[in-house]
Amino acid sequence: MSAATTRSRTPRTPDRLCVEAVELARAAAEEAAFPGVVGAHVSAVAEGDRVVTHFFESKEPGYRGWRWAVTVTRASRAKNVTLDETVLLPGDDALLAPEWVPWSERLRPGDMGPGDLLPTDAEDLRLEPGWSGEDTPPPNSVVSTEMAELVEAEDADVTDRAVVPVRGSITSVAEELGMRRARVLSRYGLHGAADRWDDSFGAKTPMAQAAPASCVSCGFLVAIGGSLGQAFGVCANEFSPADGRLVSLAYGCGGHSEAAVMPAPLRPAPPVLDSMASDEFILRPAADTGSVPVSDLPAADLGHS
């Protein structure tokens, strides 16, 4: 490890002659870069006994916050300071590139396009060894050695040059039965796939919560084989939002095949109060409708009209 990157945990007293060798350090930095790029002297840090690193500002475009680090040293009892190394290092406020992430961790569903090849790790937890017998590929390999060499070759057509098994061999029989696979889904891979599918088209989705019934009783459900067929199927209703998708048997939508013949939901009884009729209220009764004749009333002024 270089002296410029290894710092002592205990403070040291900088060597006087090494600290004074600023011009020697600047000349070394300018030789590594070119004149005009090395800026002002920032500091001098003791790296060890008679070892000092001089830091200079960097004026290189695109290297904002970086510093030229020049380490100088001298031998014991010697007066001549010599150059150790020169390197460009990032400072505290340096502009750095994002941390590199392997492609396998950057890959997301939907990133693959036409012509893309996605190699699968030999230790992928989603897979486990499949059928093994004669003419089997090497352990934990997706394709045989010959096929792998074709894949590595540029513009190789691996589909047309696939190795055909000998008729009558165990491999050919296994291929007819759909068993000729170097690896198959492991229990971990099955559970991971089931969790993803259940999140998109499962019983907890809003569509399933409002559905009249679940997909397990729907005539548009296409059954699938394998262990996943006990919990999932393919929707074949063109009007369903899950058409052509793998759905949970507990999923459901308004396009259920028996939605039209299902019992109608209970409706409340009609109200007893008839609000459609109207009652007549007479604001000014007729003069001849009272119990006292109008002629018998006194003609006194009651103070109002």
Tell me if 44 sits within 8 A of 52, measured CB to CB.
yes
Give me the helices (H) in the chain, please. 16-20, 22-32, 103-106, 145-152, 170-176, 187-200, 206-209
Mean pLDDT of 83-93: 89
Residue 187, pLDDT above cutoff 50: yes
The pLDDT tens digits for 7-39 are 545 557 888 899 889 999 999 998 888 778 898
Residue 75 vs residues 18, 48, 253: alpha-carbon distances, Å: 11, 12, 83
Work out the pLDDT band at 127, boundaries 50, 70, 90.
confident
Out of 149-158, 174-183, 192-201, 255-264, pick the least confident. 149-158
The structure's pTM equals 0.41
Work out the pLDDT band at 299, boundaries 50, 70, 90.
low
Residue 156, pLDDT above cutoff 50: no
pLDDT averaged over the chain?
76
The pLDDT tens digits for 222-277 are 999 888 899 999 999 988 889 999 999 999 988 888 876 655 667 777 777 666 66
Rounded Cα distance, 127 and 131, in Å:
12
Q: What is the pLDDT of residue 103?
A: 77
Residue 163, pLDDT above cutoff 60: no
